[in-house]
Protein backbone atom coordinates (compact mmCIF):
# COMPACT_ATOMS: atom_id res chain seq x y z
CA UNK A 1 0.00 0.00 0.00
CA UNK A 2 1.35 3.44 -0.94
CA UNK A 3 0.97 6.04 1.86
CA UNK A 4 -1.61 8.72 1.17
CA UNK A 5 0.55 11.46 -0.27
CA UNK A 6 -0.32 14.96 -1.37
CA UNK A 7 1.93 17.34 -3.26
CA UNK A 8 1.04 20.98 -3.97
CA UNK A 9 2.39 23.27 -6.71
CA UNK A 10 3.04 20.30 -8.98
CA UNK A 11 3.19 21.96 -12.41
CA UNK A 12 6.91 22.32 -13.13
CA UNK A 13 7.72 19.18 -11.12
CA UNK A 14 5.36 17.15 -13.29
CA UNK A 15 7.31 18.57 -16.23
CA UNK A 16 10.58 17.48 -14.62
CA UNK A 17 9.21 14.04 -13.82
CA UNK A 18 7.98 13.65 -17.40
CA UNK A 19 11.43 14.65 -18.67
CA UNK A 20 13.00 12.01 -16.42
CA UNK A 21 10.56 9.34 -17.60
CA UNK A 22 11.04 10.17 -21.28
CA UNK A 23 14.81 10.09 -20.84
CA UNK A 24 14.88 6.89 -18.75
CA UNK A 25 16.91 4.75 -21.22
CA UNK A 26 19.44 7.57 -21.64
CA UNK A 27 19.56 8.18 -17.86
CA UNK A 28 20.19 4.52 -17.01
CA UNK A 29 22.89 4.28 -19.69
CA UNK A 30 24.51 7.45 -18.30
CA UNK A 31 24.54 6.03 -14.77
CA UNK A 32 26.13 2.79 -16.00
CA UNK A 33 28.87 4.81 -17.69
CA UNK A 34 29.47 6.85 -14.53
CA UNK A 35 29.90 3.76 -12.37
CA UNK A 36 32.54 2.38 -14.73
CA UNK A 37 34.88 5.08 -13.46
CA UNK A 38 33.64 5.44 -9.88
CA UNK A 39 33.17 3.10 -6.93
CA UNK A 40 29.87 3.54 -5.13
CA UNK A 41 29.95 4.01 -1.35
CA UNK A 42 29.05 0.81 0.51
CA UNK A 43 25.74 2.37 1.54
CA UNK A 44 24.11 5.78 1.31
CA UNK A 45 20.89 7.50 2.29
CA UNK A 46 19.69 10.77 0.76
CA UNK A 47 17.15 13.23 2.16
CA UNK A 48 15.13 14.73 -0.69
CA UNK A 49 12.80 17.72 -0.68
CA UNK A 50 9.95 17.91 -3.17
CA UNK A 51 8.88 21.56 -3.46
CA UNK A 52 6.44 20.97 -6.29
CA UNK A 53 8.60 23.19 -8.50
CA UNK A 54 11.94 21.68 -7.48
CA UNK A 55 13.20 18.23 -6.47
CA UNK A 56 16.61 18.24 -4.79
CA UNK A 57 18.78 16.46 -2.22
CA UNK A 58 19.41 18.37 1.00
CA UNK A 59 21.57 15.85 2.86
CA UNK A 60 23.58 12.73 2.01
CA UNK A 61 24.46 10.29 4.77
CA UNK A 62 27.28 7.77 4.32
CA UNK A 63 26.46 5.94 7.58
CA UNK A 64 22.68 5.47 7.25
CA UNK A 65 20.93 4.54 10.46
CA UNK A 66 17.36 3.75 9.44
CA UNK A 67 17.38 0.28 7.87
CA UNK A 68 14.66 -0.66 10.37
CA UNK A 69 12.34 1.87 8.68
CA UNK A 70 12.51 0.24 5.24
CA UNK A 71 9.65 -1.86 3.92
CA UNK A 72 10.49 -5.44 5.01
CA UNK A 73 8.70 -6.79 1.91
CA UNK A 74 11.72 -5.69 -0.13
CA UNK A 75 14.44 -7.13 2.11
CA UNK A 76 15.63 -9.32 -0.77
CA UNK A 77 16.68 -6.19 -2.68
CA UNK A 78 18.95 -5.16 0.18
CA UNK A 79 20.44 -8.64 0.50
CA UNK A 80 21.18 -8.87 -3.23
CA UNK A 81 22.75 -5.39 -3.31
CA UNK A 82 24.79 -6.12 -0.16
CA UNK A 83 26.20 -9.23 -1.80
CA UNK A 84 27.46 -7.12 -4.68
CA UNK A 85 28.88 -4.46 -2.37
CA UNK A 86 30.82 -6.99 -0.29
CA UNK A 87 32.14 -8.82 -3.36
CA UNK A 88 33.48 -5.57 -4.84
CA UNK A 89 35.33 -4.48 -1.74
CA UNK A 90 36.37 -7.78 -0.18
CA UNK A 91 35.50 -10.69 -2.50
CA UNK A 92 36.83 -13.38 -0.14
CA UNK A 93 35.17 -12.05 3.01
CA UNK A 94 33.68 -14.63 5.36
CA UNK A 95 33.66 -12.75 8.65
CA UNK A 96 32.54 -9.15 8.99
CA UNK A 97 32.83 -6.86 12.01
CA UNK A 98 30.05 -4.26 12.30
CA UNK A 99 30.85 -1.21 14.45
CA UNK A 100 27.77 0.90 15.29
CA UNK A 101 27.27 4.24 17.04
CA UNK A 102 27.78 4.32 20.79
CA UNK A 103 24.32 5.48 21.91
CA UNK A 104 22.85 2.28 23.37
CA UNK A 105 19.86 4.14 24.86
CA UNK A 106 18.46 4.80 21.38
CA UNK A 107 16.68 1.48 20.94
CA UNK A 108 15.32 2.44 17.51
CA UNK A 109 18.88 2.93 16.29
CA UNK A 110 19.80 -0.48 17.75
CA UNK A 111 16.90 -1.97 15.79
CA UNK A 112 18.57 -0.51 12.68
CA UNK A 113 21.82 -2.26 13.62
CA UNK A 114 19.95 -5.55 14.03
CA UNK A 115 18.30 -5.24 10.59
CA UNK A 116 21.62 -4.29 8.98
CA UNK A 117 23.33 -7.29 10.60
CA UNK A 118 20.48 -9.53 9.38
CA UNK A 119 20.90 -8.27 5.79
CA UNK A 120 24.63 -8.97 5.92
CA UNK A 121 24.17 -12.43 7.46
CA UNK A 122 21.74 -13.31 4.68
CA UNK A 123 24.59 -12.76 2.20
CA UNK A 124 26.44 -15.66 3.84
CA UNK A 125 28.73 -13.63 6.09
CA UNK A 126 29.43 -14.35 9.74
CA UNK A 127 28.64 -10.99 11.37
CA UNK A 128 29.44 -9.88 14.90
CA UNK A 129 29.03 -6.45 16.42
CA UNK A 130 31.88 -4.61 18.10
CA UNK A 131 31.52 -1.45 20.15
CA UNK A 132 33.66 1.61 20.85
CA UNK A 133 31.92 2.14 24.21
CA UNK A 134 34.72 1.92 26.81
CA UNK A 135 32.33 0.79 29.57
CA UNK A 136 31.49 -2.40 27.67
CA UNK A 137 34.31 -4.76 28.61
CA UNK A 138 32.52 -8.06 27.96
CA UNK A 139 29.78 -9.27 25.60
CA UNK A 140 26.60 -7.37 26.48
CA UNK A 141 23.15 -8.35 25.22
CA UNK A 142 20.47 -5.67 24.77
CA UNK A 143 16.72 -6.15 24.31
CA UNK A 144 15.22 -4.60 21.17
CA UNK A 145 11.86 -2.76 20.99
CA UNK A 146 10.52 -4.97 18.19
CA UNK A 147 11.64 -8.15 19.91
CA UNK A 148 14.93 -9.98 19.59
CA UNK A 149 18.30 -9.13 21.04
CA UNK A 150 21.56 -7.53 20.01
CA UNK A 151 24.94 -8.49 21.45
CA UNK A 152 27.71 -5.87 21.58
CA UNK A 153 31.30 -6.99 22.19
CA UNK A 154 34.42 -5.00 23.11
CA UNK A 155 36.90 -4.41 20.29
CA UNK A 156 40.32 -6.05 20.44
CA UNK A 157 43.37 -5.01 18.44
CA UNK A 158 46.33 -7.27 17.65
CA UNK A 159 49.04 -5.45 15.71
CA UNK A 160 47.42 -4.04 12.58
CA UNK A 161 44.24 -6.09 12.85
CA UNK A 162 41.05 -5.32 14.72
CA UNK A 163 38.43 -7.81 15.85
CA UNK A 164 36.77 -9.36 18.87
CA UNK A 165 37.91 -12.01 21.30
CA UNK A 166 38.22 -15.15 19.15
CA UNK A 167 36.97 -13.35 16.02
CA UNK A 168 39.34 -12.11 13.30
CA UNK A 169 37.20 -10.44 10.60
CA UNK A 170 38.11 -10.08 6.93
CA UNK A 171 36.46 -6.65 6.73
CA UNK A 172 35.01 -3.93 8.96
CA UNK A 173 31.74 -2.10 8.31
CA UNK A 174 31.26 1.20 10.13
CA UNK A 175 27.77 2.36 11.02
CA UNK A 176 29.39 5.10 13.09
CA UNK A 177 29.97 8.53 11.54
CA UNK A 178 33.08 9.29 13.65
CA UNK A 179 31.74 12.67 14.78
CA UNK A 180 34.08 12.56 17.76
CA UNK A 181 37.09 11.85 15.53
CA UNK A 182 38.80 8.65 14.42
CA UNK A 183 39.59 6.51 17.49
CA UNK A 184 43.16 5.24 17.73
CA UNK A 185 42.00 1.61 17.67
CA UNK A 186 40.81 2.09 14.06
CA UNK A 187 43.87 3.90 12.74
CA UNK A 188 46.27 2.03 10.49
CA UNK A 189 44.49 -1.33 10.46
CA UNK A 190 45.14 -3.62 7.51
CA UNK A 191 41.58 -4.86 6.99
CA UNK A 192 39.24 -3.11 4.58
CA UNK A 193 37.10 -0.51 6.37
CA UNK A 194 33.79 0.41 4.77
CA UNK A 195 33.07 3.30 4.39
CA UNK A 196 36.67 4.58 4.59
CA UNK A 197 37.67 6.57 7.67
CA UNK A 198 37.70 9.84 5.74
CA UNK A 199 33.96 9.43 5.10
CA UNK A 200 33.41 10.33 8.76
CA UNK A 201 32.71 13.84 10.01
CA UNK A 202 36.25 14.20 11.36
CA UNK A 203 37.21 14.82 7.71
CA UNK A 204 34.03 15.15 5.67
CA UNK A 205 32.32 18.48 4.96
CA UNK A 206 28.87 19.03 3.48
CA UNK A 207 30.25 21.89 1.39
CA UNK A 208 32.64 19.43 -0.32
CA UNK A 209 29.73 17.13 -1.03
CA UNK A 210 27.48 19.79 -2.53
CA UNK A 211 30.34 21.13 -4.65
CA UNK A 212 30.71 17.63 -6.11
CA UNK A 213 26.92 17.40 -6.49
CA UNK A 214 26.87 20.69 -8.37
CA UNK A 215 29.20 19.25 -11.04
CA UNK A 216 27.14 16.05 -11.27
CA UNK A 217 23.85 17.97 -11.49
CA UNK A 218 25.22 20.30 -14.19
CA UNK A 219 26.31 17.37 -16.37
CA UNK A 220 23.05 15.49 -15.80
CA UNK A 221 20.92 18.58 -16.49
CA UNK A 222 22.74 19.12 -19.77
CA UNK A 223 22.14 15.45 -20.65
CA UNK A 224 18.34 15.69 -20.32
CA UNK A 225 17.95 19.38 -21.19
CA UNK A 226 16.77 20.99 -17.95
CA UNK A 227 17.81 23.92 -15.76
CA UNK A 228 20.19 22.41 -13.15
CA UNK A 229 18.60 24.62 -10.48
CA UNK A 230 15.53 22.36 -10.58
CA UNK A 231 17.57 19.54 -9.02
CA UNK A 232 20.38 21.41 -7.23
CA UNK A 233 20.11 23.69 -4.17
CA UNK A 234 22.38 26.74 -4.11
CA UNK A 235 24.96 26.67 -1.32
CA UNK A 236 27.88 28.60 0.13
CA UNK A 237 30.19 28.17 3.09
CA UNK A 238 31.33 30.19 6.09
CA UNK A 239 34.36 29.22 8.17
CA UNK A 240 35.61 30.53 11.52
CA UNK A 241 32.16 30.90 13.03
CA UNK A 242 31.74 31.09 16.81
CA UNK A 243 28.04 31.44 17.59
CA UNK A 244 28.53 31.84 21.32
CA UNK A 245 31.17 34.59 20.94
CA UNK A 246 29.22 36.08 18.00
CA UNK A 247 32.30 35.88 15.76
CA UNK A 248 31.78 35.55 12.01
CA UNK A 249 28.19 36.80 12.32
CA UNK A 250 28.60 39.52 9.67
CA UNK A 251 30.12 37.09 7.17
CA UNK A 252 27.20 34.72 7.72
CA UNK A 253 24.55 37.45 7.48
CA UNK A 254 26.09 38.76 4.25
CA UNK A 255 26.15 35.32 2.64
CA UNK A 256 22.58 34.66 3.75
CA UNK A 257 21.51 37.93 2.10
CA UNK A 258 23.32 37.04 -1.12
CA UNK A 259 21.75 33.57 -1.15
CA UNK A 260 18.22 34.90 -0.59
CA UNK A 261 18.70 37.35 -3.48
CA UNK A 262 19.84 34.53 -5.81
CA UNK A 263 16.86 32.38 -4.87
CA UNK A 264 14.48 35.32 -5.36
CA UNK A 265 15.72 35.73 -8.95
CA UNK A 266 14.90 32.08 -9.67
CA UNK A 267 11.52 32.31 -7.96
CA UNK A 268 10.69 35.31 -10.16
CA UNK A 269 11.85 33.41 -13.26
CA UNK A 270 9.55 30.47 -12.48
CA UNK A 271 6.66 32.53 -11.11
CA UNK A 272 6.90 31.05 -7.62
CA UNK A 273 4.85 32.99 -5.10
CA UNK A 274 6.61 31.80 -1.93
CA UNK A 275 9.12 33.59 0.30
CA UNK A 276 12.66 32.25 -0.24
CA UNK A 277 14.48 30.86 2.78
CA UNK A 278 17.91 29.53 3.65
CA UNK A 279 19.01 26.67 5.87
CA UNK A 280 22.12 27.29 7.96
CA UNK A 281 23.64 24.05 9.22
CA UNK A 282 26.90 22.72 10.57
CA UNK A 283 29.29 21.86 7.74
CA UNK A 284 30.30 18.72 9.64
CA UNK A 285 27.72 16.77 11.56
CA UNK A 286 24.50 14.88 11.53
CA UNK A 287 21.47 13.87 13.63
CA UNK A 288 19.63 17.03 12.67
CA UNK A 289 21.70 19.11 15.08
CA UNK A 290 23.05 22.60 14.44
CA UNK A 291 20.36 23.56 11.89
CA UNK A 292 18.20 26.67 11.57
CA UNK A 293 15.79 28.17 9.03
CA UNK A 294 16.60 31.77 8.05
CA UNK A 295 14.44 34.17 6.01
CA UNK A 296 16.45 37.38 6.51
CA UNK A 297 20.06 38.33 7.37
CA UNK A 298 18.60 39.84 10.55
CA UNK A 299 17.59 36.35 11.68
CA UNK A 300 21.31 35.56 12.00
CA UNK A 301 22.16 38.77 13.86
CA UNK A 302 19.27 38.47 16.28
CA UNK A 303 19.83 34.95 17.61
CA UNK A 304 19.19 34.69 21.34
CA UNK A 305 21.51 32.85 23.72
CA UNK A 306 19.55 29.59 23.54
CA UNK A 307 19.61 29.63 19.73
CA UNK A 308 23.35 30.41 19.65
CA UNK A 309 24.08 27.55 22.05
CA UNK A 310 22.00 25.19 19.92
CA UNK A 311 23.96 26.16 16.80
CA UNK A 312 27.36 25.94 18.53
CA UNK A 313 27.46 22.31 19.66
CA UNK A 314 26.35 19.07 18.01
CA UNK A 315 26.53 15.33 18.50
CA UNK A 316 29.04 14.10 21.11
CA UNK A 317 29.81 17.71 22.07
CA UNK A 318 31.42 18.46 18.70
CA UNK A 319 31.83 22.23 18.40
CA UNK A 320 30.80 23.77 15.09
CA UNK A 321 33.15 26.35 13.59
CA UNK A 322 32.09 26.03 9.94
CA UNK A 323 28.60 26.27 8.49
CA UNK A 324 26.90 25.46 5.21
CA UNK A 325 24.47 28.07 3.91
CA UNK A 326 22.04 26.09 1.76
CA UNK A 327 19.08 27.17 -0.33
CA UNK A 328 15.97 26.13 1.53
CA UNK A 329 13.80 23.73 -0.46
CA UNK A 330 10.17 23.59 0.59
CA UNK A 331 8.51 20.24 1.06
CA UNK A 332 4.95 20.33 -0.17
CA UNK A 333 4.39 16.66 0.52
CA UNK A 334 2.26 15.57 3.42
CA UNK A 335 0.93 12.35 4.90
CA UNK A 336 -2.31 12.59 6.87
CA UNK A 337 -1.82 16.33 7.17
CA UNK A 338 1.75 16.11 8.50
CA UNK A 339 4.73 17.52 6.60
CA UNK A 340 6.84 14.77 4.96
CA UNK A 341 10.07 14.30 3.02
CA UNK A 342 11.37 11.17 1.29
CA UNK A 343 14.60 9.48 2.35
CA UNK A 344 16.04 7.04 -0.20
CA UNK A 345 18.36 4.17 0.79
CA UNK A 346 21.02 2.60 -1.40
CA UNK A 347 23.45 -0.28 -1.05
CA UNK A 348 26.32 -0.21 -3.52
CA UNK A 349 24.84 1.67 -6.50
CA UNK A 350 21.35 0.18 -6.14
CA UNK A 351 18.26 1.77 -4.64
CA UNK A 352 16.92 -0.70 -2.05
CA UNK A 353 14.11 1.24 -0.40
CA UNK A 354 13.18 4.34 1.48
CA UNK A 355 10.70 5.98 3.78
CA UNK A 356 8.97 9.26 4.45
CA UNK A 357 10.27 11.24 7.39
CA UNK A 358 7.11 12.79 8.84
CA UNK A 359 6.76 15.50 11.49
CA UNK A 360 3.41 16.77 12.78
CA UNK A 361 4.98 19.75 14.55
CA UNK A 362 7.07 21.21 11.72
CA UNK A 363 6.32 23.42 8.73
CA UNK A 364 7.14 23.00 5.04
CA UNK A 365 10.24 25.20 5.40
CA UNK A 366 11.70 23.50 8.49
CA UNK A 367 14.12 20.68 9.25
CA UNK A 368 12.15 17.47 9.87
CA UNK A 369 15.09 15.51 11.30
CA UNK A 370 14.28 16.37 14.90
CA UNK A 371 12.58 14.91 17.99
CA UNK A 372 8.95 14.09 17.28
CA UNK A 373 9.53 12.74 13.76
CA UNK A 374 8.22 9.36 12.67
CA UNK A 375 8.66 7.22 9.58
CA UNK A 376 6.37 5.73 6.93
CA UNK A 377 8.00 3.15 4.61
CA UNK A 378 7.89 3.82 0.88
CA UNK A 379 5.69 0.96 -0.26
CA UNK A 380 6.63 1.14 -3.91
CA UNK A 381 6.08 -1.91 -6.08
CA UNK A 382 9.39 -1.91 -7.93
CA UNK A 383 11.70 0.30 -5.81
CA UNK A 384 12.78 3.62 -7.30
CA UNK A 385 14.19 2.30 -10.57
CA UNK A 386 11.17 0.79 -12.36
CA UNK A 387 8.96 3.59 -13.70
CA UNK A 388 5.70 3.08 -15.58
CA UNK A 389 6.14 5.26 -18.64
CA UNK A 390 2.51 4.71 -19.69
CA UNK A 391 1.18 6.24 -16.45
CA UNK A 392 0.97 9.87 -15.34
CA UNK A 393 4.27 11.47 -14.26
CA UNK A 394 3.02 11.76 -10.66
CA UNK A 395 1.86 8.12 -10.43
CA UNK A 396 3.58 6.48 -7.47
CA UNK A 397 6.14 4.36 -9.39
CA UNK A 398 7.07 7.42 -11.45
CA UNK A 399 7.38 9.82 -8.54
CA UNK A 400 9.51 7.23 -6.77
CA UNK A 401 11.62 6.81 -9.91
CA UNK A 402 12.29 10.55 -9.83
CA UNK A 403 13.35 10.21 -6.18
CA UNK A 404 15.67 7.37 -7.14
CA UNK A 405 17.32 9.40 -9.89
CA UNK A 406 18.02 12.34 -7.56
CA UNK A 407 19.28 10.00 -4.83
CA UNK A 408 21.65 8.26 -7.24
CA UNK A 409 23.00 11.62 -8.42
CA UNK A 410 23.78 12.47 -4.78
CA UNK A 411 25.40 9.06 -4.27
CA UNK A 412 27.56 9.62 -7.36
CA UNK A 413 28.58 13.00 -5.93
CA UNK A 414 29.49 11.30 -2.63
CA UNK A 415 31.71 8.86 -4.51
CA UNK A 416 33.51 11.73 -6.27
CA UNK A 417 33.75 13.64 -2.99
CA UNK A 418 35.42 10.66 -1.24
CA UNK A 419 37.95 10.34 -4.05
CA UNK A 420 38.77 14.05 -3.80
CA UNK A 421 39.19 14.02 -0.01
CA UNK A 422 41.18 10.78 0.20
CA UNK A 423 44.41 12.59 1.09
CA UNK A 424 42.74 14.36 4.01
CA UNK A 425 42.08 11.07 5.82
CA UNK A 426 42.91 11.22 9.48
Clarify whether residues 127 and 172 are in a common domain.
yes
Clarify whether residues 361 and 391 are in a common domain.
yes
**What pLDDT does 311 receive?**
66
- The CATH number of the domain holding residue 139 is 3.40.50.11280
Q: Which of 150, 167, 199 is the last residue of a domain?
A: 199
What is the C-alpha separation between 281 and 284, in angstroms, rounded?
Answer: 9
Q: Is-contact 148 113, C-beta < 8 A?
A: no
Per-residue b or e along 348-368, where b marks 16 or more CB atoms closer than 10 Å to that residue's CB: bbbbbbbbbbbbeebebbbbb
Clarify whether residues 13 and 95 are in a common domain.
no
**What pLDDT does 309 receive?**
61
Is the peptide bond between 142 and the residue preceding it cis, with omega within 30 degrees of 0?
A: no
**What pLDDT does 8 receive?**
37
**What pLDDT does 384 receive?**
47
Clarify whether residues 242 and 384 are in a common domain.
yes
**What pLDDT does 14 receive?**
75
Q: Is-contact 44 81, C-beta < 8 A?
A: no
Q: Is-contact 314 289, C-beta < 8 A?
A: yes
**What pLDDT does 383 receive?**
46
Helix (H) or strand (E) holding 262: helix 249-270
Count of domains observed in the chain:
2
- What are residue 151's DSSP bridge partners? 141
Q: What is the pTM of this model?
A: 0.90
Mean pLDDT by 10 residues, the chain (426 residues): 37 76 94 95 95 92 94 89 89 92 88 97 97 95 91 97 97 94 95 95 94 98 97 92 72 91 96 92 72 84 65 59 91 76 92 81 59 60 50 62 93 97 66
**What pLDDT does 337 receive?**
73
Q: Which of 184, 199, 214 is the last residue of a domain?
A: 199
Clarify whether residues 311 and 405 are in a common domain.
yes
What is the C-alpha separation between 20 and 24, in angstroms, rounded?
Answer: 6
Clarify whether residues 27 and 93 are in a common domain.
no
Query: Does 426 fall in a domain?
Result: no
**What pLDDT does 133 receive?**
94
**What pLDDT does 338 receive?**
76
Clarify whether residues 171 and 255 are in a common domain.
no
**What pLDDT does 44 receive?**
98
Clarify whether residues 187 and 210 are in a common domain.
no
Domain that holds residue 414: 6-65+205-421
Clarify whether residues 223 and 275 are in a common domain.
yes
Amino acid sequence: MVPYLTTALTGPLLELEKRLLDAQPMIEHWFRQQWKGQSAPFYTSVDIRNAGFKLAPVDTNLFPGGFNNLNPAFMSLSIHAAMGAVEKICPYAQRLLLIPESHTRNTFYLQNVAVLAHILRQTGLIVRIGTLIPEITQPTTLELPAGGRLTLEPLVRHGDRIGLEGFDPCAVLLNNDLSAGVPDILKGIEQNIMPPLHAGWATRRKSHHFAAYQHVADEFAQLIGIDPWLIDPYFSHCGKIDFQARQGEDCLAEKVGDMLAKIRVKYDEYGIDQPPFVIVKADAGTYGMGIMTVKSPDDVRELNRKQRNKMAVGKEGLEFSEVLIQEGVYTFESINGAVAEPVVYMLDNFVVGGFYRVHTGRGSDENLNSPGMHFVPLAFDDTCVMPDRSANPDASPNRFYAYGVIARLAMLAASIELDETLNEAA
